[in-house]
């Protein structure tokens, strides 16, 4: 508005406005790309990412430009465009070299190795890249390596590739165990549990079966030394299986309506992480079944009616019951129980009485736009 009215006379003011405009355009293009990916429109999403990177470059926001090029390479990899993904990784690796970003170079090396391996024509090159990573001085680089594998897992999970995310989290977990990073190990166990649950619920596609073979490739990068401690940690992932065979203690039946105030504290205070959702046929409003994970209660089914449009990847959603909500808590049908491994159905009585939170993946916070 100030430009249009001719009120900016200082060159410095123009620079500030240019940075603001370019930053906003870059941000909008990234958001547009993320939405387009959720809708499966890959080519349009890539165009948006390229425009986002261009506007970041104009204002010399090199870190964001690097990250956006890296995201582009990931998306190409996710959608089976392996040759383009390899070229994008090479380009981003060159940029990372120019700007001395060693962590991004490591990310690109791992991503490129995965792309080459899945493409299936040159396993030796993929293995050689991973072997080079394994020969790094791990004493100096163990924290960066954990972060890289964990962040890669975050990217894959956020865009719906839970099986590969699980493999990547597992690599990060192995390193964190050997270097006795307990808090980081606990975080990775939770991430690993979530990606494993999502894989089980969503089923295995042909691509997932091929991705499973990447264990051979990723194991080339690092193999856990403290196997006993690793096995002890992995046992924690099976907790939801144990809960599945334990009766849910808060069942009240389909006829009884329970007000929020009388719900167990676990359902009042916690944000429930979504691992799967599907729309249910219902004439009066949009009705959904959300499968949610709670670390103490296990897997539950939340049925709710909402005016919101639910699109994209389940892992980017969380739910929280509103204090005004009323629910029915009952046993799932045998079909639902066996399909989704859920212990109970939480049926929200009134429309829009459950808060639905859509969050951009954590890597968006790293974008300085």
CB atoms within 10 A of CB 358: 13
d(CA 359, CA 365) in angstroms, rounded, equals: 11
Report whether 89 contacts 75 (CB < 8 A).
no
pLDDT of residue 161: 76
* Predicted pLDDT of residue 366: 54
Convert the pLDDT of each residue in 234-272 to its tens digit: 887 777 677 888 889 999 999 999 999 999 888 887 788
Q: What is the pTM of this model?
A: 0.69
Query: What is 11-239's CATH number?
Result: 1.25.40
Kindly list the domain boundaries of the chain, sorted by start residue.
11-239, 246-358
pLDDT at 3: 37
CATH architecture of 246-358: Beta Barrel (2.40)
Per-10-residue mean pLDDT of the chain, 369 residues long, equals 42 65 79 74 83 81 82 82 90 88 86 83 82 76 83 78 84 90 86 82 55 69 85 80 84 93 86 86 80 86 89 81 94 89 92 85 55
Residue ranges in the chain assigned as alpha helix (H): 11-38, 42-58, 62-78, 82-98, 102-119, 123-134, 138-158, 162-178, 182-202, 206-212, 214-221, 227-234, 239-244, 265-269, 334-340
| Helical spans, DSSP H, in 259-315 | 265-269
The pLDDT score that the predictor gives to residue 44 is 85
pLDDT for position 199: 78
Phi then psi dihedrals of residue 7, to 5 deg:
-90, -10
In which residue are the tokens 């009705």 written?
Answer: 287
């Amino acid at each position: 508005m100030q430009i249009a009215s001719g009120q900016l006379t200082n060159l410095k003011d123009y620079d500030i406005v240019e940075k603001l405009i370019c930053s906003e355009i870059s941000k909008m293009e990234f958001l547009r790309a993320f939405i387009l990916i959720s809708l499966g429109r890959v080519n349009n999403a890539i165009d948006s990412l390229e425009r986002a990177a261009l506007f970041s470059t104009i204002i010399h926001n090199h870190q964001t430009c690097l990250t956006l090029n890296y995201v582009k390479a990931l998306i190409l990899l996710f959608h089976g465009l392996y040759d383009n993904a390899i070229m994008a990784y090479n380009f981003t690796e060159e940029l990372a070299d120019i700007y001395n970003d060693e962590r991004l170079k490591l990310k690109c090396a791992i991503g490129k190795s995965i792309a080459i391996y899945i493409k299936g024509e040159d396993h030796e090159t993929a293995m050689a890249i991973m072997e080079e990573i394994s020969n790094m001085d791990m004493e100096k680089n163990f924290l960066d390596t954990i972060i890289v594998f964990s962040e890669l897992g975050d990217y894959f999970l956020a865009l719906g590739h839970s099986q590969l995310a699980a493999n990547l989290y597992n690599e990060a977990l192995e390193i964190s165990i050997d270097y006795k990073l307990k808090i980081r190990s606990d975080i990775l166990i939770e991430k690993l549990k979530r990606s494993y649950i999502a894989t089980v619920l969503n089923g295995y596609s042909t691509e997932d079966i091929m991705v499973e073979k990447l264990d051979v490739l990723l194991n080339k990068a690092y193999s856990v030394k403290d196997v006993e401690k690793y096995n002890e940690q992995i046992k924690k992932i099976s907790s939801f299986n144990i809960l599945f065979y334990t009766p849910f203690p808060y069942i009240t039946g389909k006829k009884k309506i329970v007000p929020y105030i009388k719900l167990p504290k676990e359902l009042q205070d916690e944000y429930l992480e979504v691992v799967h959702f599907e729309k249910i046929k219902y004439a009066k409003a949009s009705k959904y079944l959300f499968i949610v994970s709670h670390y103490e209660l296990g897997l539950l089914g939340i049925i709710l009616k909402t005016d919101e449009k639910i699109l994209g990847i389940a892992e980017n959603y969380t739910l929280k019951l509103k204090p005004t909500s009323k629910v029915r808590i009952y046993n799932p049908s045998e079909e639902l129980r066996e399909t989704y491994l859920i212990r109970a159905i939480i049926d929200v009585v009134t429309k829009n009485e459950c808060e639905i939170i859509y969050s951009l993946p954590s890597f968006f916070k790293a974008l300085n736009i």
